[in-house]
Amino acid sequence: MGNILAIVGRPNVGKSTLFNRLIRRRDAIVESTSGVTRDRHYGHSQWNGKEFSVIDTGGYVEGSEDIFESEIRKQVEVAMEEADVMVFVVDGRDGLTGMDQGVFNLLRRGDKKVLLAVNKIDSTGQVHDTSEFFQLGVSQVFPISAINGSGTGDLLDEVVNEMGEGKPEDGTELPRVAVVGRPNAGKSSLINLLTGKERNIVTPVPGTTRDTIHSKYQGYGREFMLVDTAGLRKKSKVTENVEFYSVIRAVRAIEDSDVCVLMTDATRGFEGQDNAIFSLVDRNRKGIVVVVNKWDLVDKPANATKKLEQSIREKTAPWKDIPIVFTSVVNKQRIVKLLETTMEVYENKNRKLSASKLNKLILPRLLENPPPIYKGKVIKPKYISQLPTKFPAFAVFCNRPQYVKDPYKRFVENQIRQHFNFHGAPMEIYFRKK
């Protein structure tokens, strides 16, 4: 349903530079809590109104140049399976190399669209350098400079052109739930618990364009689609590439879902990797339920849940309105609660408020606390309405919307969240001129 762009190529051609440009680094985070300061290699981007996830495959290989080739091979194979569009990056200064040729031969065998970006073409005088790459048999090359951005607009035009419309592939309108999280958090155990029960009816619904396995879940009076996750997949294929594989799977699952159940491991706390997945869910504007699993394994002094909740909320700030459920999958504790919460978040994400309610309950709050005067200009909110978007978004109409800053938008969001139930749902506030 969602779209994923994978950036592939041999080392040093400029994949991370291009990746950083696409996600504009505004959401770059480092895994500070786990002690490893490392950049993230997946993010979210948009172009011409289309949103998509971006994966920098190069970010997952480490080691010397000679082990690169086989590593790259495996990554390219996984990326080809999961991504929708591949951008194959080569270095316009080095010219075509044997390794480029090797990677491209792999790419060509897949059924995904591959766009060839010839990077490091920093000035137009160098454009002739790209001609030798036509030897690969492509019909088009995109000369780009990942560093200064030239040519990347044309490349992105073509990228989004190749992407689908984001409609569910299985044709159902059921809520779509993805279980995501770091390896070993208990995702497969949860899915097995849900799908293994005799009284629950689980029907595999094969995807049409990928070999995804989504399952229709019925149980405890609920009905939804479980978006393909680790639990239903053969893990064997990718044992050597667990991290890369689990990341790309998570990105795929998030893209394809309405609500994400983010499983964390109580024995490890809410770590950098959990937060990285969390922010991806956030930027994809999906509903979220945070699960603290393996609750049976930890000591529970007085106020344990409260304290842990608070620490999670600090780490996910400014997001505070998130449900957190403490489960033990092995002891089957609070699984029904988890299902109920997940369905509630789905409802919240789809909640539509009438203009009359908003203007009766929210507008007066804004008039009591108007945006700060900016350069001597008074800003007066006049009207508020919900936009017909897939996730909750509201427009506040006022004079001089350009002067309204983020803190005030958060104030508006908080007002709406205080008056209505948007627990676990994303939200966006826009200021517009009438």
Of the two residues 81 and 274, which places its CB atom closer to ligand GDP in the complex?
A: 274
Q: How far is the CB of 339 from ligand GDP (least distance, A)?
A: 15
* SS3 at position 48: coil
Name the burial class of residue 183, with classes exposed (0-12), middle (13-18) and buried (19+) by CB atoms within 10 angstroms of its CB.
middle
Binding site for ligand GDP (CB under 6 A): 9, 11-17, 58, 119-120, 122, 145-147, 181, 183-189, 230-231, 293-294, 296-297, 328-330
Return the number of the residue (82 or 321) whose C-beta is nearest ligand GDP.
82
Nearer to ligand GDP, 187 or 286 (CB): 187
> How near is the Cβ of 93 to ligand GDP at its closest, in Å?
7
Report H helices in 269-323.
Answer: 272-283, 304-315
Q: Smallest distance, Å, CB 267 to ligand GDP?
A: 8
Nearer to ligand GDP, 89 or 427 (CB): 89
Give the nearest distance from C-beta 132 to ligand GDP in angstroms: 18
CA angle 409, 411, 414 (to 5 degrees): 110
Using the minimum distance from each CB to ligand GDP, give the nearer residue, 338 or 396: 338
Tokens 């978040």, located at residue? 345
Q: What is the C-alpha separation between 98 and 123, in angstroms, rounded?
A: 26
Which tokens go with 159? Answer: 């990228």
364's enclosing H/E stretch is: helix 363-368
Residue closer to ligand GDP by CB (options 256, 413) is: 256
CB of 10 to ligand GDP, least distance (A): 7
With contact defined as beta carbons under 8 Å apart, do 208 and 215 qualify?
no
Q: 146 or 404, CB closer to ligand GDP?
A: 146
Q: Rounded to whole angstroms, how far apart are CA atoms 372 and 364?
A: 16
Token pair belonging to 427: 């939200």
Kindly give the residue spans of alpha helices, DSSP state H, lying in 3-119.
15-23, 65-82, 98-109
Give 84-147 as a DSSP string: SEEEEEEETTT---HHHHHHHHHHHHSSSEEEEEEE---SGGGGGGGGGGGGG--S-EEE--TT
Closest approach of ligand GDP to the CB of residue 391, in Å:
26
Shortest distance in whole angstroms from residue 205 CB to ligand GDP: 21
Structure-derived torsion over alpha carbons of residues 430, 283, 389, 312, reported in degrees to the nearest 10:
-90
Q: Which of 52, 23, 41 is nearest to 160 (CA)?
A: 52
Q: Measured from the CB atom, is 31 or 296 closer to ligand GDP? A: 296
Measured from the CB of residue 60, what is the shortest distance to ligand GDP in angstroms?
A: 11
Residues in the chain: 434
For residue 301, give the amino acid letter. P
Maximal CA-CA distance, the chain: 70
For ligand GDP, which is the closer residue by CB, 229 or 348? 229
- The pair phi, psi for residue 262, each rounded to 5°, is -90, 110
Find the distance separating the first CA and the last CA of the chain, reported in whole Å: 34
CB of 304 to ligand GDP, least distance (A): 16
